Amino acid sequence: MGKKESSLKQLVLSLTLITCIAAIALTVIYSMTKVPIALSQQKKKTDAISLVLKGFKGETKETKVLLDGDKDSVIIYFAYQNDSLFGAAVETYTDKAFDGTFSIMVGFDAVGNIIETEVLQANETPGLGDKIDKKKSDFPLQFKGKNPKDFNLLVKKDGGEVDAITAATISSRAFCDAIQRASNAFLKIKENGNEQN
């Protein structure tokens, strides 16, 4: 019996030691990668702002907006050039995607016309839903120059004006939802005159 207890104690001690070493290693790795990951994510956002606000050279002011009925805020980067509003880049999301959620950056000019879109994060089905990215299809191009006030941001199947991606209606609807959320947030702040804050 003494030998079994001794073996059990050694096993527990060994497992405890291995667990402690693994925890320390994970902590060290996390602390080493935390800053580079944050910098990479910030660069991705900065690049996306530049891509969706073509021709913009100026400064941005960040504002968060929580719309009625939403659980998360969208982030608006109001863009000013020569002390006047150039437009805004809106970091928006949808929770209606095929794979749950995705986020995009939408650029608007000063009156609310869509300049460009850029996918920030999505896990849609390869070859189908991932066509929300302009690098993979022309689907996002149909939104350029459109103003959500005048352009019905629903897929044609639902009575709107958007041509859905073939076999990826859910992703198409989700993309429209994200753009509508971005437009609503931009207009809410702009119409209240709060973009200067």
The pLDDT tens digits of the residues spanning 163-180 come to 888 888 888 899 999 999
**Residues 32/51, Cβ–Cβ less than 8 Å:** no
Structure tokens at 64: 């968060």
3-state secondary structure of 44: helix
**Domain end among 10, 29, 48:** 48
d(CA 148, CA 146): 6
Does one domain contain both 101 and 191? yes
Return the pLDDT at 127: 65
pLDDT digits (tens, 9 = 90+) for 109-132: 999 999 999 988 877 666 676 778
Let me know whether 173 and 79 are in one domain: yes
Query: What Å distances lie between residue 97 and 89, 171, 174, 176, 197, CA to CA?
Result: 21, 5, 5, 10, 33
Q: What is the count of structural domains for the chain?
A: 2
Domain identity same for 115 and 134: yes
Is the same domain home to 42 and 65?
A: no
Give the pLDDT mean for 91-106. Answer: 87
Same domain, 112 and 74: yes
Q: Are residues 88 and 152 in the same domain?
A: yes
Q: Take residue 103 and report the two structure tokens written for it.
A: 């986020």
Round the average pLDDT of the chain to a whole number and report it: 86
Rg (CA), the chain: 23
Q: Indicate the pLDDT class of residue 82, thresholds 50, 70 and 90.
A: confident
Claim to verify: residue 24 and residue 67 sit in the same structural domain: no
Residues 85-112, mean pLDDT to the nearest whole number: 90
CA distance 159 to 149: 16
Residue 144 has phi, psi (to 5 degrees) of -60, 130
**pLDDT (tens digit, 9 = 90+) per residue, 26-76?**
888 888 877 777 777 777 788 888 889 988 887 889 999 899 888 889 999
CA distance 50 to 55: 8
Distance CA 67, CA 192 (A): 14
pLDDT tens readout for residues 136-164:
888 899 999 999 999 999 999 999 899 88
Domain identity same for 43 and 61? no
Residues 65 and 24 in one domain: no
Residue 78 has pLDDT above 90, yes or no: yes
The domain containing residue 192 runs over which residues?
Answer: 53-196
| Beta strands, E only, 66-156 | 74-81, 84-97, 100-109, 114-121
Residue with structure tokens 């460009």? 116
The values of phi and psi at residue 41, to 5°, are -65, -40
